[in-house]
Amino acid sequence: MYVRLQKVRQGGRVYEYVHIVEGYRDDAGKVRHRVVANLGRRDRLKASGALDNLAGAFTRLDPAPGRYLVGPLPLVAPVVERLGLVGIVDRACPMRGRSSLSHGEVIAALVANRLCDPRPLYDVTG
């Protein structure tokens, strides 16, 4: 499955529609495509913020491989988890746009860094 943009010309204007498309093989063995869901016009989805939420949802389906706990993190991570810090921050600051981490996960990483190593964390993105 993948997301496809379809351009439609209507009355001298061009509209783009967002579809979720599935690939399959027919009886003859040829690859065919069928629309599983029509999500709507791209400009309307973008204006409502739904397009950014959809993109964020797709990026969260494929998480980063291999997370390893090293150093003092095995002591700090359960405390942060027991406090429910990620959930508290995510409820207070809902996600908009596409990102691989939620606001709560970023704050939890910054808090864990501060508890594990009191030096400031530079190059957070890196």
pLDDT digits (tens, 9 = 90+) for 67-83: 655 677 778 888 888 99
SS3 content of the chain, % helix, strand, coil (to 5): 40, 25, 35
| 61 part of a folded domain | no
Looking at the fold, whether 40 and 78 belong to one and the same domain comes out as no
| 97 part of a folded domain | yes
Question: How many domains is the chain partitioned into structurally?
Answer: 2
Give residue 13's domain range.
2-48
Indicate whether 124 pLDDT > 70.
no
| 66 part of a folded domain | no
> Between these two residues, 30 and 69, which has the higher pLDDT value?
30
3-state secondary structure of 63: coil
What average pLDDT does the segment 49-62 reach? Answer: 77
Which residue, among 117, 126, 118, has the nearest Cα to 72 in the 3D structure?
117
| 33 part of a folded domain | yes
| 126 part of a folded domain | no
88-108 tens-digit pLDDT: 999 998 887 777 888 998 898
* Cα–Cα dist 17/103, whole Å: 30
| 24 part of a folded domain | yes
